[in-house]
Amino acid sequence: MKKLLLPLTLVSSVILAGCGSDDDDSRTTVVDVAQGDDRFTTLVTAIETAGLAATLEGDGPFTVFAPTNEAFAEYLTDNGLEATDLLAADSLADILTYHVLPVEADSTAAASIAGSESANDQLVETVYGDDVLLSLSGSDLLVNDATVVQADVQADNGVIHAIDSVLEIPEKNALSDENKTITELVVALAGAQTGAEFTVLKDAVVAAGLDDDLGGEGPFTVFAPTDAAFADLLQNAQGGPYDDLNDLVNALGLEAVTDILLQHVVSAKVNSNVVVLADGVSLATLNDEQSITIGVSNGSVTADGSNVSVTDVYASNGIIHVIDTVITTDDNPSAQ
């Protein structure tokens, strides 16, 4: 399991507790520290504009990965934006809360996480909900692809680490519905009047009894095979071809099919901006014996060799990335 992981319900309670705290003039908050540092004037303006100052002045504790003014300037240039565009963006609060952890992690704790043997343990949930990836490059601490340029700027309710670039969040796919769990979203997409997809995945999830699990709190990242991917598996799997999902289940046993499905699920909320940084990284799945290895080449992403065709379909408890083949285990039939 991930270090420093807090369920979203606890994240919400932290925020609400922070908003309800009485002011204490003797405390120096992360907002106070940022306001007193000329490197963070753009960040402070953004925090105040987004209405997050009261939250970050609360009890916390917080870890703020704080882009410098130069980092924001580079972000604006790269995206063809003016500062006024950023401050007016509907996504401003989301961008900022993606830079905040609902726990305090000084450089020693952060480096310990970044140096974890398991890639899953390098993933840390933010107040926004999506995970960031902590890693090491020599002696440098990285947050996604941003480098910490000064660590451990201490406040009474947390710590600030200055970073050299803005952590970007991806655009959510039009198929997203954050009022639905992953199970509910798969069911809805399977029943669409036009362009229905995931009909076999839906049936497989229900048959395996995973609908309650994927309808739970999460967070999850699901690499979801299309109907065409399942059709290819039924046709080409060892011992096949199989007529349909029931035929496959009868031949292999429900446990084997369940293991295949579990290999498509990671217990973390990993958006595409993190996935593309994970070339060669193996992520542990809910199938305890198997992992998914991410590959990145010329802008294309694979998960255990399966092409990722659609990214960032958000549900209330996680993210779906669509893949074009079913990932199979060493112990279960694979495509011939």
**CATH number assigned to the domain comprising residue 204:** 2.30.180.10
Amino acid in position 93: A
Residue 133 placed within a domain: yes
pLDDT at 215 over 60: yes
C-alpha to C-alpha distance for 58 and 51, rounded to whole angstroms: 13
| 196 in the same domain as 78 | no
Cβ contact 214:320 at 8 Å: no
Closest CA to 310 of 168, 173, 106, 108: 173
Boundary (domain end) residue, out of 163, 198, 215: 163
| 186 in the same domain as 117 | no
| 186 in the same domain as 156 | no
| 158 in the same domain as 23 | yes
85-89, 274-278, 288-292: range with lowest mean pLDDT: 288-292
| 85 in the same domain as 19 | yes
Q: What is the pLDDT of residues 102-132, one digit of tens each?
A: 999 999 999 999 999 999 999 999 999 999 9
Please give the pLDDT value at position 241: 86
| 138 in the same domain as 71 | yes
Residue 29 placed within a domain: yes
Residue 198 placed within a domain: yes
C-alpha to C-alpha distance for 226 and 250, rounded to whole angstroms: 21
- Work out whether strand 318-323 and strand 220-225 pair parallel, antiparallel, or are unpaired: parallel
| 202 in the same domain as 311 | yes
Residue 250 placed within a domain: yes
CA 32 to chain centre: 29
Cβ contact 31:150 at 8 Å: no
Q: Which DSSP string corresponds to 35-53?
A: HT-GGGHHHHHHHHHTT-H
Closest CA to 277 of 304, 263, 295, 291: 295
Please give the pLDDT value at position 332: 59
* Confidence grade of residue 333 (pLDDT, cut at 50, 70, 90): low
| 19 in the same domain as 123 | yes
| 71 in the same domain as 22 | yes
> Nearest 10 degrees: CA dihedral of 210, 216, 217, 223?
30
| 224 in the same domain as 262 | yes
Residue 128 placed within a domain: yes
Please give the pLDDT value at position 237: 75
Please give the pLDDT value at position 6: 40
Helix (H) or strand (E) holding 67: strand 62-67
Please give the pLDDT value at position 331: 61
Boundary (domain end) residue, out of 128, 163, 198: 163
Residue 306 placed within a domain: yes
| Residue-range definition of the domain harbouring residue 281 | 182-323
pLDDT at 144 over 60: yes
* Confidence grade of residue 7 (pLDDT, cut at 50, 70, 90): very low
pLDDT at 328 over 90: no
- Count of H-run helices and E-run strands, the chain: 15, 14
Average pLDDT score over the chain:
90
91 vs 248: which has the higher pLDDT: 91
Boundary (domain end) residue, out of 136, 163, 190: 163
| 20 in the same domain as 117 | yes
pLDDT (mean) for 161-167: 98
* Confidence grade of residue 20 (pLDDT, cut at 50, 70, 90): very low
Structural domains of the chain, count: 2
Residue 18 placed within a domain: yes
| 204 in the same domain as 129 | no
Residue 50 placed within a domain: yes
Q: What is the pLDDT of residues 231-265, one digit of tens each?
A: 998 888 777 788 889 988 888 889 999 999 999 99
